[in-house]
Amino acid sequence: MYNKCLTTRPCFQGIPYYSDKVDQLPAHPVLGILHFTFHPGVNILEALSPASRLWSKSLEFVSTIPGFQGLSWAPVNDDSPYQQIIVLIQWVSQHSWKLFQSSLGFSMMLGYISKISNRCIQLALPVDISGYSCLELVSFRFLQSTTQPDKKSDFKAKCEIAFSPYLNQATSQTKLISACGEWLQKDSNSEDEFFVGLLFWATFPELLREVDARHLEMLVRDATEVVSVYTSQLNHVSSDFIGYDHFPHSVQLQTDIELFKIPVKPQFNANESTDIYGKDISHLDSLWYPMGFISQYYLPPRPRFGVEANTEMISFFTRTGDERMLTSFADLGKKLWELGDCPQLVWGKTQSNEEENDNILLFLDVNGDIVYNMSHRKIVGPWRLDILQNMEITTFDVPANDLRSFEYAHRNFTHTTHQQHFPQSVLSPYCSIMPASQGWQAETVQFISILRCNKDGAREEWYSDFAKRARTEYDLLGHIVDWLRTLSTNISVQYVPLEMEDPWMTADKLEKDKLAKEARKGES
């Protein structure tokens, strides 16, 4: 799912987040600083939009990670068409920060994210910023060759001196509530040094721009580059934060699939299962998009699905046991067979809500008065229809603005069907149901997903186990259910056991193979 060859990842004191050495360091408070830039048209402030709901679920999930102490976030105040969000997360220690990087974090926002910065500093925020305040985030850049340890200490002291007069102006309309800063943790030795200043103001950014910039004057000349951004009023999240209702009946989703009706709660699930090396199996080997892989160094690429419809799928009703239907199918099959290179005829019956009727799915046009309520559509179907014994066809209706996000979510869903993560000795319970094809239906915003079952009862067992584990393992499976149903307005499924080919077809195949082998022998 993610790039395991990626060499640069978030670090603390030069140690990658996934290393055991992070836990061996003395405990230090860590402030995570994330800067999201979303695609044009994405607005997480738009209430009840899929992007807004997924943002809220992500905040709730992060707030349940052990060692979480608080989170503040706000939009950057600028005129860009790209909405930008700055997030500050206070962790009690680097171990908690490590858990965050190893978890799904904000990965449910994939598809909306255009760029992201995932950094941290060794700092505990002051306790007096939880009220009404706006953030000014100032980044001072220094060339690596000119930054010595003593100079770094001197610059931090200069910052404290520069901001102290403003902290004492209690009656000022633009009162500086708090100011702090620290050197950014480097993710590679070749990086330049950055000092991050955090200024919390009791006013709106529109007024801040009119304030005398003397609080930066004495610091700017020491740096090679200074970047300052303002946010609107900060939103604060505590450990008891509760986002949207976790039950899908609060969402305008229509579905007859029980899996997408189960209640799941966004929360970090501690798992004591470890491998022979003491690693957490759930979060080390089975996670689809760890937060530590979503950074300025790497953004998981958009999944690619089939875009060219290659299959005609026809659905209609017919009277159960209608002999004319069976005769028509037999005649059609023989005519197609005689063409030699004709498209295959694959068909089967699905359960129908109408009594005494069969709902038939096939992959070719049918004429005549023996069928009714016929629907026809082009889909991205399996390339080899003749080897399938069954198909589960799931249709997702997705809003046009959320297609990218859905593709990430569905890729996670299909990858739960088979084991692809190391160590290879860890066997997946999902080995008897496999993806057959996925893609967007032509000229619509419907996504068609086709699975096939390799064993009897595999489908029922897979869905039952998935639903059971999704309730207790949000990081592993629950978020996939939550993600897909948040993005969908309707989810429908049709399970079709396919009819076996006629005996005369099998006999004809064997005869043709025999003749072909004899012809090759004669040529040699």
**Highest mean pLDDT: which range of 74-88, 152-166, 267-281, 445-459:** 74-88
At 190 the pLDDT is: 87
**Tokens for 509?**
């195949």
Of the two residues 309 and 299, the one the predictor is more confident about is 299
Beta-carbon count within 10 A of 38 CB: 23
Closest CA to 243 of 478, 371, 59: 59
- Full strand arrangement of the beta sheet holding 134-142: 176-183, 193-201, 134-142, 225-233
Amino acid sitting at position 344: Q
Alpha carbons 159 and 136: distance in angstroms, whole number: 14
What average pLDDT does the segment 418-436 reach?
56
Cα 486-487-493 angle, rounded to 5 deg:
95
Residue type, 93: S
What is the CB neighbour count within 10 angstroms for residue 413? 23
Please state, in angstroms and rounded to a whole number, the distance separating the CA atoms of residues 151 and 445.
Answer: 57
What amino acid occupies position 40?
Answer: P
Among 39-43, 86-90, 300-304, whose mean pLDDT is lowest?
300-304
In the structure, what pLDDT confidence band is assigned to residue 424 with cuts at 50, 70 and 90? very low
Omega within 30 of 0 (cis) for the link into 423? yes
- CA–CA distance, 68 with 100 (Å, rounded to integer): 9
Q: Tell which residue, 68, 109, 18, has the closest CA to residue 292.
A: 18
Q: Residue 487: exposed, middle, or buried by beta-carbon count in 10 A (0-12, 13-18, 19+)?
A: buried
Residue 444 one-letter amino acid: T
**Total residue length of the chain:** 524
Contacts of 336 (CB under 8 A, 6+ apart): 342, 343, 344, 345, 364
Which range (162-166, 196-200, 241-245, 457-461) has the least confidence?
241-245
**CA 261, CA 255: separation in Å to the nearest integer?**
8
Band of pLDDT at residue 248, cut at 50, 70 and 90: very low
- Kindly report which listed range (10-14, 407-411, 417-421, 457-461) carries the lowest average pLDDT score: 417-421
Give the whole-angstrom CA distance, residue 98 versus residue 24: 12
Q: Supply the pLDDT for residue 365.
A: 34
What pLDDT is stored for residue 220 in this prediction?
78
Q: How far is CA 160 from CA 141, 197, 198, in A?
A: 17, 10, 11
Name the strand (E) or helix (H) holding 35.
strand 30-38
In which residue are the tokens 């004429």 written? 367
What are the Cα distances from residue 417, in Å, to 314, 427, 498? 27, 12, 21
Q: What is the pLDDT of residues 188-212, one digit of tens each?
A: 988 889 999 998 988 765 555 555 4
pTM, full prediction: 0.85
What pLDDT is attached to residue 40?
A: 94
pLDDT single digits (tens) 502-524: 777 777 778 877 888 888 887 76
d(C-alpha 265, C-alpha 477), whole Å: 11
Reported as a pLDDT band with limits 50, 70 and 90, residue 91 is very high
Domains by residue range for the chain, with CATH = 11-255 (3.30.70.100), 311-389+499-518 (3.30.70)
Taking only the tens place, the pLDDT of each residue in 19-35 is 989 989 999 999 999 99
283 and 268 Cβ atoms separated by less than 8 Å: no
The yes-or-no verdict on residue 368 having pLDDT over 50 is no
